[in-house]
Structure 1
């Protein structure tokens, strides 16, 4: 299990005062898991899909504050701003606390627009992997366990740093086997999941459900 963390880095130039404003912020996280010992990880597309334009939007408020500190009104000068850089920051947090940059190899779309799956890769060897099960053999009322990193732990200040590295396990059952409009099969589970769990695996007694 890993935490998949995303953020944004932007640089904007204001000709009026000749200043370059550099901003960087981590904006969210999801969960993921190794499916190959050479660093291949599966998570959700909505966790990793982030465009440069979205990065600009995420950091506009912080940029406005910096401009105000320099005596500039954002609404007045926003048309003059030259965006030098706007890019996502991709990091994987391992359970041992190590942080690694990742590359998005293949990504689908968000849940209501396509297959919400993303394949990412980090530079690591001999990673422990989860074995994929045969989802066609799943039956309603099978016992399952959902694993992930709920965002509440990250946002709260009552937990220690070790707690950020520990995944959360919740139990439930296969509650239904359904099909989306585009004929994609889905497995509905009753195991509780919170924001931040996105991309985490669902396990049966011995294997990961594909």
Structure 2
């Protein structure tokens, strides 16, 4: 509300002066490109005679360069999405009462924003307005506005899940002012994609999802409904690709610097051919307005999710049943790998596709169907975008040798639980080389029947430096299972005898099972 108030208080003369300066600066930049001899590529969109003629016009100059043709082509397919939902007074209190409140920000995005010190409600581009419901005092009607885009003439519309989440009514407004009622076909909270549909139409304007990924530095055009103002167009470039903002295992965002604000949620970002390269979903902003850091879901992800939502109304993801972690330089050294690439299997869940195929903890998955796996996140994304029942060829490095495994994917479970067994009475032993006090897991209540429990950690020791904490359970050292402290000592001695720079320990803690590489001190016996 504060941001809108400040904007409304600006005088007409101030606005005019500011806009004049901005226009001058932007034109100067374009002139600079022309003087420097930098060619600005002609648009390659459209197939109508008028558009074809436009693309064969005179060479682009500072005076003729414009996004107008592509904007004219795509904006009829960009819509405003308004939703209504009923919530209790208690829910309203939890969500806050600001005009553009935090209810629009999905929880995973909110966690990302808090890492940068931004408060709830400052990061999501889709503004929410709360209005009293004409009825009982215990409930209110929430009215939310976002954006979307039509992908077929029969009225399928793509938007963000967090725009339509919990909606009791969905209305779509076209750029020409026509309004339609829409229904939610399906949503996917994991990728923040939703599909809605306008019924009874077969001649609506639509846009196409791009087949390929944009390059960093490519021009892009964003169209949306910021602050409920209606169709608004902004331009910028692709700032980065493959961004992980901590929203989930399938993060692969396109970062753009086109001005994106609240209400742009679900809106499309186009390339200069008029194809959708991404759907806007989040911004980073300390003030609630644009600062040039926006994130869009790439078109490849949108296309994969929408195809399933259109067919089944939900998304079923592939699952192989492993806990994985990134391969760090230390882990690569401990595993004898040439580079810190791929995904390290920390644990294989019993009776899962991975277990049936023969995968083991310590394996490093380097390829999926011949495509290189960059890291653990990349493997999660590749498997998660496949359907259950598909057969997948995995390339795995085990004990320094490359092996191939065929895995038939199953459906990702909704909940995964871990069980532990009981035991009794600890007896600890010191392992000075690691800075740890250890005890057999079976002697510690609640630690389980396998491994060795960490009962005390020297804060200045090498184990503490690698994140090992009291309560962690060491399952194996150097690839061999351990059941008492002497097994740990023997594992360290064996690694030193083989002249390894580091020894790998598989450790179970609050964050699940992971591998930890401990650098060996050659000076100690």
TM range (shorter): 0.5 to 0.7
Q: Deviations over 1:21-46 (max 9, x none)?
A: 49774511100111011000001100
Once the two structures are superposed, residues 54-81 of structure 1 have per-residue CA deviations (whole angstroms, 9 ceiling, x without a partner) of xxxxxxxxxxxxxxxxxxxxxxxxxxxx
Determine which of 225, 229, 243 is the counterpart of 1:149. 225
SS class of match (2:172): strand
Corresponding position of 1:107: 187
Unaligned runs of 5+ in 2: 1-77, 88-134, 278-298, 300-525
How far the C-alpha of 1:134 sits from its partner, in A, is 2.1
Q: What RMSD in Å do the two structures reach over aligned CA positions?
A: 2.3
Structure 1 residue 9, shift from structure 2 partner: 5.3
Corresponding residue for 1:196? Answer: 263
TM-score normalised by the chain length of structure 1: 0.64
Across the two proteins, how many residue pairs are aligned to each other? 149
Give the 3 Å change call, closer, same or farther, for CA 179–194 of structure 1 in structure 2.
Answer: closer
Tell me the secondary structure at the aligned position of residue 261 of structure 2: coil
Please give the per-residue CA displacement for 1:2-25, whole angstroms capped at 9, x wherever unaligned: 110011358xxxxxxxxx749774
Structure 1 partner of 2:368: none
Residue 47 of structure 1 is matched in structure 2 by: 163
Q: What is the distance in 2 between the residues matched to 1:143 and 1:31? A: 21
Superposition map of 1:174-189 within 5 A: 174-180=238-244, 182-189=249-256
Q: Which whole-Å deviations, capped at 9, do the CAs of 1:57-106 have from their partners, x for residues lacking one?
A: xxxxxxxxxxxxxxxxxxxxxxxxxxxxxxx2211112222221111111
Gap regions ≥5 residues in structure 1: 11-19, 52-87, 154-163
From the two aligned structures, give the one with the greater helix fraction.
2
**Which structure is higher in strand share?**
1
Q: Determine the C-alpha separation between the residues in 2 that align with 1:91 and 1:183.
A: 29
Partner of 1:158: none
Larger radius of gyration: 2
Report the counterpart of residue 361 of structure 2 in structure 1: none
With normalisation by structure 2, the TM-score equals 0.27
Q: Matches of 1:95 and 1:46 in 2, distance apart?
A: 22
Structure 2 matches for 1:66-77, cutoff 5 A? Answer: none
Secondary structure at 1:30 match in 2? strand
Equivalent residue for 1:208, pick from 252, 256, 276: 276
Given that 1:7 and 1:24 are in contact with CA atoms closer than 8 Å, whether structure 2 keeps it comes out as no
The separation in 1 between residues aligned to 2:174 and 2:140, in whole angstroms, is 22
